[in-house]
A = this chain, B = another copy of it.
Amino acid sequence: MAEATQKQPNPTASRPVRCIVKLGGAAITNKGELESIGVENLRSACAQLRQAMSHSGATEKVAGMDWSRRPGDPTDPVVDAEGLSEMEGLGLDTNFVVVHGAGSFGHFQASRSGVHKGGLQSTLVKAGFVATRISVTSLNQEIVRALAREGIPSVGMSPFACGWSTKQRNLESANASQIIQSLHVGFVPVLHGDAVLDELLDCTILSGDVIIRHLAQLLNPKYVVFLTDVHGVYDRPPSDPNAVLLREIEVDDTGSWSIVKPALKGSNKGVEISVAAHDTTGGMETKILEAAAIARLGVDVYITKVGTEHSLRALQGDTSSEDWLGTVIRSSK
């Protein structure tokens, strides 16, 4: 890991990455229904991403980049080739990376087969690996298309196909040179949690959160945004009426964290922190740990609810005002 990190070129010299965005599985899919996209949330997230990328903030002409047929669409897509060739650039700061979770895609296939446990000599695991990748890459395709319809030049990149692999579930090989090349020429890479090969277990699941941490380390973005289906991190399950939204968490050098805002009564040691009720990989503990690991790098992490004014402000990197609703996780230094 550390070696892989060092070997790769540093893209920040030429064009610093502004933001890595996690589209949480719970935020963009309908958790109760197999392979069902949360169409409105996904559309909103893509439109807000475009707004955050926009130089002027004004609504420019959208250069639609999904020229494929839609299911049930009787006519071929219309492409304004002349109009596009006359546009002087997109007017967008495209220096973003998108990573998404699986939600109701992939989880069913992975859990039925136990892909995360490994063991490819088992026919069930081998079949489940194939089935899981089919499901998560379907979702990736839909997200790339939704971004492209908003005029965001997005390119899907599957971690498995990129050659990313793990060793005992820890990221072992994760060359990002193609991601960096793509950013350099103005594309927005779209990665996802994936089934990958594991040096010891044969195979496992690599979560989107682990991918984000690795990319944050490599690309040193200005900030990282997690879009989820609740307003942020709570002191107990958000369904609990007494749940308190934690507004600011600080992480020190050792990885220990403390709640800065709000001031909670008593010790925070016993706080049952909760981000999203429905996580397909790792759950809330992993998510907090990954977010804390990113904050330790000196990169602010904003966790907030998809499809709200707060998510737009997070994507714009502006969470300083008092009325912003979400959780900021940052380094105490």
Please give, as numbers and ranges, the residues of chain B lying within 8 Å of A135 by CB-CB distance: 67-68
- Mask for A151-173, Cβ within 8 A of B = 1, else 0? 10111111011110100000000
Per a CB cutoff under 8 Å, which of B124, B151, B197 touches A85? B124
Report A150-208 residues with CB < 8 Å from chain B CB. 151, 153-158, 160-163, 165, 175, 177-178, 181-182, 185-187, 197, 202-203
Q: Are the C-beta atoms of A185 and B163 separated by less than 8 Å? A: no
Please give, as numbers and ranges, the residues of chain B lying within 8 Å of A3 by CB-CB distance: none
A130 to B148, CA, bound (A): 7
A138-146, A237-245, A263-271 - the one binding chain B: A138-146
| Size bracket of the A interface | 35 or more
How far apart are A4's CB and chain B's nearest CB, in angstroms?
14
The answer to whether the Cβ of A324 comes within 8 Å of any Cβ in the partner chain is: no
Per a CB cutoff under 8 Å, which of B34, B79, B113, B156 touches A112? B79
Number of copies: 2
Per a CB cutoff under 8 Å, which of B122, B144, B145, B161 touches A178? B161
A42-50, A58-66, A211-219, A276-284 - the one binding chain B: A58-66
Q: Are the C-beta atoms of A63 and B123 separated by less than 8 Å? A: yes
- Best-buried of A123, A144, A177 by chain B (most CB within 10 Å): A123
5 other A-B residue contacts (CB within 8 Å) besides A35-B68, A84-B123, A126-B186: A67-B134, A126-B153, A160-B178, A161-B162, A162-B163
